[in-house]
Chain A
Amino acid sequence: MVTTLRTRRDTQDDAVPSAVAQQPRRIKESPVDRVFLIAVYILLAVALIIVIAPLLYILSSSLSSPAAVSSGQVYLWPVDFSTAGYQALLGNQQIISGYVNSLIYAIAGTLISTTLTIMIAYPLSRKEFMGRNVIMALVLFTMLFQGGLIPLYMVVQNLGMLDTRWSMVLPQAVAVWQVIIARTYFRTAIPDELAEAAEIDGCGDLRFLWSVVLPLAKPMVAVIALMYGIFQWNAYFDALIYLKSPDLYPLQLVLRNVLILNTQTTGVTDVALQMERERMADLLKYSLIVVASIPVLLIYPFVARYFTKGVMIGAIKG
């Protein structure tokens, strides 16, 4: 990622290891510039702190003891370090099932979405494909105008997909901007001559796509898949409207019920256990937030690495 951003001005600086050595080569910096640059560093450091502080607070709280959390002693560092919150999560059936469901939806959804996106983006990138402008216009139009909530709900209902796993992975399967990114990438990264040569050699389009184009487009496919995966993992709205059975709920919906609506109805009848829950409730929330965000935050640096390029291409040429 950084290479694309850095190539321009840093090369000259990075080439010279020490700041002193490069002084003679450049025009001397004025005091105003120095002050300005210091202000920039300070402001960026402030931005860094503003972003990190809430995350650190959540993480620290999740690693504190139930008593410290429920009495509000935690600021930016764990108090009475404990993993009680995480242990409690492991025993919660609702959360485990949410986690498993989310994994299923994320994996299946990513597979379906990525496949469909490539299936439409690749032909649209080929000049030999007649009618590609009409199809592209039809695809782009859905960005501008859609049927809306109720009509889509009725379609899902008519297809018999309400309260099934299909309703989680199909209705939002293809994102138009992903199609744009993929198409632009195919267009710019795969030279026309390559396709022509393959055609002359008697290589069909499908085989060409599978054994030449896709290996060449690996970074782009990886980014698209990861983005779909993250969006699927984070989605709660479709589950909210299409799912009725709690055993199909993805993690985000479970989270919403536990964290925002404050309804923890796991059918607990044991009074002692219920009391324990109440005491743990606050701590549990912090641990839940961490557990739900970890998979995404682990994946995200990989996306970030390639994403700049993808966004750039999509933004500038799309």
Chain B
Amino acid sequence: MSFGSIGIYLASYFSLFVGTFFLYTFFENKRKLKTPEIKEFPEISILIPAYNVEKFIKKTIDCVLNSNYPKKEIIVIDDGSTDNTYQIVKKYKKGVKIFRKENGGKASALNFGIDKCNGKLIMPLDADSFLEKDTIRKMVSYFGDKKVMSVVPTLKVYNPKTIIERMQVIEYTVTSFIRKIFTFMHGLNVNPCAPIYRAEFLKKNRFDQDNLTEDLEMGLRVQSKHYDIQHAIDANVYTMVPNNLKSLMKQRVRWNYGTIWNLKNKYGFMFGLKYGDLGLFILPTTLIFFGLAVFLLIYYLGKLLWDSIYNLYFLSLIGFDIKYVLFGGGSTQIINYLIDVKMFLFLTLFVVGGTICLIAKRTLNEKRFRFSYFIYISLYSIFLGIFPLIAALYFIFRKKPKW
């Protein structure tokens, strides 16, 4: 058995194990999917760090103002914008406050803003993300449990148009579904885009300004103190996502780098049994997936390159007279390939992965999730290997990806 085959068998078994684990956990906790009834309405501060977002900031603020949550204030921190962000926000007379500071990045703006917040809850909200009317209400309902320190919403792609955006519809749907599963294991460890925190926690625990994925770092910090992060699966936030490959690459390399860096340097989570499933399963799984994605990418790219050279050599022997090479033998080879043992493993994984996707689609009621699933599986899986590979190279050579 070749080195690559062993890798494929290991990757297949591992993926199957993880997929089964997710499905098992989901069906075990299905009855807990429903958002609890809200009993109290503590005041909430919506904290919006804003840097050159004149295109979106009005919509973001209007969505919050339209929310059916009664006690709320909006604090916008203009992080040294050079466009009309400040002027647009300044026009709001009631319920919206704006503060200006020198540009220092998202985490710096959030830390600056935390002191200005009066609510018992704080929701850091990205300036290009839009809430539904009942999003805050649904999220706050989870704070009835004293162990819950933060709650995340379901993130959905805003107005997807390009293929890259459409592929992310599926990715965001599946990711949100898996996040819900993580909460059943008390292991959700990331607070992206529009989480709600208890103010007392944020006032004592400021965002790490040097961290590229400050939401992940904060999530790990919540977990390190053995608090829970909940996921309100029916509370939707629509966010702008990269619409081309270049910006997607930039964002994902940063995320992957941040994940590697935080897992290596923060809190000793890896295989830490005191963190339960988070230390034993969720975080090691994340890192192993990174490793496998990189291994399979390198192996198959190498194989593709080698096969191409090999085929070119043989074609050169017949003076590249390919019309005779194209006839005969092809169909038999394809049939032969299809019944290969490895193909059966891929088929099994495809079924398990497809089941997870379909349950995720139904659970999150994501109607925009269509047949692009198949394109997603074939194309996006290649990127899933490229992003961690580049991030790992940055990490190895001690360079930091740019925002």
- The answer to whether A and B belong to the same complex is no
